[in-house]
Structure 1
């Protein structure tokens, strides 16, 4: 749904509403009905979102992102992907980011 929301400049609000729904209110965000409600509350057309969710549109894109995340060892949130090569999962000290930035810089030279 976030891929769909991005096309309509609603990705940030949808992501925020998904997190609030799940973490604050315990809503099952695996339910299409709940996702459609969240999408509508975020300013998207609910029926268009339903059609998108029931289609195979973007399925290969999502599978590709999932595979890349698994290869990088993504196991927590937040997760930052740096230079499509490094993943920083969970809460980390700023020193960890600096080390990864340095390593990414070396890769690009």
Structure 2
């Protein structure tokens, strides 16, 4: 049996960084907020479009928060779904949001797609 297999880097409750994050670093960084925003604002006037875009992105991220990243499962393409399955899915969505089935339906009662 391998003696090293049972070794763990730290005992329960022990950390690899006993000093932790330096105290007050966030507060110290915030002391420079006005200057940092001034620098970013000035960068909006730069000739280089890459600099302007980066500055605009940073300012917007700080003012409104970073945009939420959405992911979608696109393993089933709509072209691969038969009409009956697609009609059922559309009807279920309309029922869930309270929309009439007549919206977007043809005279045959089938959904247009």
TM-score range, shorter chain: under 0.3
TM-score by length of 2: 0.27
Structure having the higher strand fraction is 1
Structure having the higher helix fraction is 1
Rg larger in 1 or in 2? 2
Q: Say which structure, 1 or 2, has more relative contact order (CA 8 Å, 6+ apart).
A: 1
TM-score by length of 1: 0.28
